[in-house]
Structure 1
Amino acid sequence: MVRRRPPASASSDELLNTLGRLTAQALERVESQKARVELAAALQRDLLPSALPQAAGLRTAARYAPARHGLDIGGDWYDGFVLPGGVLGFSVGDVQGHDVEAAAFMGQVRIALRALATVTPDPGEVLGRANDLLVTMDGDLFATCSFLRYDPASGELAMARAGHVPAVWATSDGASGVDAEPGGLPLGIQGGEPYPVSHRRLTGSGAFVVVTDGVVEGPSFSIDEGLDHIGTLIRAGASGEPAELAADLIHVAELTGHRDDAAVLVLRHDR
């Protein structure tokens, strides 16, 4: 019988060298991820507006919260701007994916919506044109979005949704509801998509709120439960300060168990 010599086991020095190499590679990956997260966070801070427009009978507020675990950042946004004739435009959205690429894509979508809103008064057409533009870019990302147009002269709010969470409203007399009018597909998936427009007149005292899914949906409760939860808060704060209501609503994101970031836009009307 031929005896085979067992293979030589690795020496302590070899094991230490291997461990050191693997540790260095792991640290390099961690530092790279940390740098990407920091860059995404910086992009997010710079791209979100420093202030929102106000109008007679309308006060606005918004909040953004990064992901609870610090890695999923860069996808959600809110925006507000003045259009010709004193009309106000607002958008709230959520880019699929996170990190630097999502933050950059978010900036592209916001700029496209602002530009298109100056050439057409129809929110559905704004989303439709933005969608067709993003489809031609042939990218890998898409975004859900709600675009709103508010006319201070008439008090009319027109809104179109692209695969986004329904808005929730309440008035100071106790009425409330979910604005679940049909919407279209998320932006950037399929060209030629129609985006129906819902109309609502903001009369009396109340609040109209748009959020991203990080606020109302996660492992801890379903989107319907989340919408009910924020509905309760909106009814309680419909006649209060919009900044306080926005702060209360963004805290709901901590209850979802979701890893996503979150955004809230509050339109507080008193006409």
Structure 2
Amino acid sequence: PAAASEGAEAPSAVPVEAPSDAPFEAPYAPGPAEPGPARRPRLLVADDNADVRSYLGDLLGREHDVLLAADGRAALDTALAHPVDLVLTDVMMPRLDGFGLVRALRGDPRTTRLPIIMLTARAGEESTVRGLGAGADDYLAKPFSARQLLARVSANLELSRLRERVLSDSRRQADMLTSLSQASLLLSDTLDPPQVLDTARELLVPALADEIRIRLADPRAERPLYAAGESVAPGGVLDRALGDTLLAGTAPEPPATGGTLLSVPLLAHGRTLGALAIARREGAYTMADRQYLQGVAGRLALAYDNAARFRNERHLALTLQRALLPQHLPQVPGLRTASYYEASASGAEIGGDWYDVIALPDGEMGLAIGDVMGHDVDAATVMGRLRSTLRGFALDRASPGVLLGKLDAYLRSLDVDHFATCLYAVYEPRTRRLRYAASGHLPPLLVAGGTTSFLDVCPNAPLGLADEPLVGHETRLPPGAGLLLFTDGLVENSHLPLDDGLAALRRACDGLTPPVLADPQAIIDRALGLLDIPGRVDDDTALLAASAP
């Protein structure tokens, strides 16, 4: 063989393309609309025989760019420095033979899939098996014809292109599925319909579009049209696309040459909720882009439908909840009352918190507050029945302890799984006497300036669980004092013990003076400051305040 030259013989006409290091930030990378101009394949020929190198360079250089290397080490350095599409290597070479070169190329992630053809004068099955075992894709024994070599090169280049295309499509499909999975999480992260649409905009602009329009055919929609992004489509084009999509119920077929506009329907549970259209200033959309948009549209439709259902159900639940509470509080001389109710911020369930004010004979006033355990229609039903039954017992002039005992027996007779807490008090404005009893409920707060404190209550069991007679209490309200009845949603905090929540409520109301206490709403306003404390448990909250001038 001819003496091996050091390094590689790289023709100056062969350009070397540097890989891009630009970071990728979009949730989904849109594919190119059309393949770029085809470039000549670049081959690397490694052979220590100068005549063979020259022959192969001339033969292959008619349709390929060819780099030449005189030994295995130079070929390895060239392949790593100048990306090539295929390697043809001799077996017997100085510094690094063909088998070593194949193993080195296969061991580097940059060249692990590079097609390699081994050229050698060693004929026979053993040499072929050894070459293929080292990682070569093909093995060609010398002497070989020009047509045979060109056919092997062409076949291996085509196989490499197909392999890379499959891998690229697989990666793109995996990226798309990952992105759609993330889109599902983001879209389902809110139960507010307008926020769902804003999330769709964040997913699509600017990663896939410059402009987005959504037309909603859903009667639950507050606004039928949502538009965002920079206006790039000619006037009326997106609106016509949305109309056509809604009319057809399916995505229109894109033009054969691609386009810069896509429109797809929003389908959820077999219903067409609307249509989504996107446009961008330049770059035709691909089939992969269309598939991705259809995936986003399907998830958007489901998320919007869930959010709209939740909003409507919550509205109905709150309407029913408030209908079960007194619409107006009776007022009698010597006692003013005010109330507050706030449903849980999460969930569409009906709460079990309630309150009532009952005008009794002889100018007395009955004050009641309770909490049925549970957040469902059954709990609301039990709450409504307890409230109406308590009213009947109160009008019979039963004392607070006796009344709660009857209410406990009534709840047991309903044969339900719910239990409830309740506090009932009777106030006589003429004598300022307050009689009260609690069944598993938190104590009332006596608001009297510097002597603000919780009234004593016996730790009776909740209604439905009591097995002993309920103990009643009696006290007199100081002139100008106030009284606050409340449910546990006001004072429960995931970061603090219940006693700390009660102490915070007492401190909040401690500074109220008699002139301010004349208005019971002032007590409620001061107590509501506890709702802003971090860690508060999200629960229904009911308050009933009374002022005794």
TM-score by length of 1: 0.83
Matched residue, 2:356: 79
Please identify, of 260-269 and 96-105, the stretch whose mean Cα deviation from structure 2 is larger: 96-105
Q: Is 1:216 aligned with 2:494?
A: no
Cα distance, 1:24 vs. partner? 8.0
C-alpha distance in structure 2 between counterparts of 1:87 and 1:234, whole Å? 26
8 Å contact from structure 1 (residues 36, 99) kept in 2: no
Distance 1:151 1:85, change over 3 A: same
DSSP 3-state at the match of 1:107: helix
Q: Is 1:253 aligned with 2:531?
A: yes
Q: Is 1:263 aligned with 2:532?
A: no
- What CA RMSD, in Å, does the superposition of the two structures yield over aligned residues? 2.8
Q: Is 1:185 aligned with 2:464?
A: no
Matched residue, 1:236: 511
Cα distance, 1:22 vs. partner? 9.3
C-alpha distance in structure 2 between counterparts of 1:152 and 1:247, whole Å? 24
Letter in 1 for 2:498: I
DSSP 3-state at the match of 1:228: helix
Q: Is 1:55 aligned with 2:304?
A: no
C-alpha distance in structure 2 between counterparts of 1:86 and 1:244, whole Å? 24
Distance 1:193 1:250, change over 3 A: farther
Matched residue, 1:176: 452
Matched residue, 1:206: 481
Matched residue, 2:317: 40
**Larger gyration radius, structure 1 or structure 2:** 2
Letter in 2 for 1:177: S
Letter in 1 for 2:536: G
Equivalent pairs: percent with the same residue?
Answer: 34
Cα distance, 1:203 vs. partner? 2.4
C-alpha distance in structure 1 between counterparts of 2:416 and 2:297, whole Å? 39
> Number of residue pairs matched?
259
C-alpha distance in structure 1 between counterparts of 2:353 and 2:532, whole Å? 16
8 Å contact from structure 2 (residues 448, 512) kept in 1: no
DSSP 3-state at the match of 1:237: coil
Distance 1:161 1:30, change over 3 A: same
Which gives a bigger RCO, structure 1 or 2 (Cα 8 Å, sep 6+)? Answer: 1
TM-score by length of 2: 0.43
Letter in 1 for 2:489: G
Cα distance, 1:170 vs. partner? 2.6
Cα distance, 1:97 vs. partner? 0.9
**Structure 2 unmatched runs, 5+:** 1-287, 289-293
Q: Which one has the bigger strand percentage?
A: 1
8 Å contact from structure 1 (residues 169, 234) kept in 2: no
C-alpha distance in structure 1 between counterparts of 2:354 and 2:331, whole Å? 18
Distance 1:253 1:106, change over 3 A: farther
Matched residue, 1:146: 423
Distance 1:70 1:29, change over 3 A: closer
Letter in 2 for 1:231: R
Cα distance, 1:178 vs. partner? 1.4
8 Å contact from structure 1 (residues 95, 105) kept in 2: yes
Cα distance, 1:254 vs. partner? 3.7
Cα distance, 1:188 vs. partner? 2.1
Distance 1:120 1:202, change over 3 A: same
C-alpha distance in structure 2 between counterparts of 1:130 and 1:214, whole Å? 23
The within-5 A match list for 1:83-98 is: 83-98=360-375
C-alpha distance in structure 1 between counterparts of 2:513 and 2:482, whole Å? 5
Letter in 2 for 1:247: D
8 Å contact from structure 1 (residues 67, 73) kept in 2: no
C-alpha distance in structure 1 between counterparts of 2:540 and 2:316, whole Å? 16
C-alpha distance in structure 2 between counterparts of 1:150 and 1:137, whole Å? 30
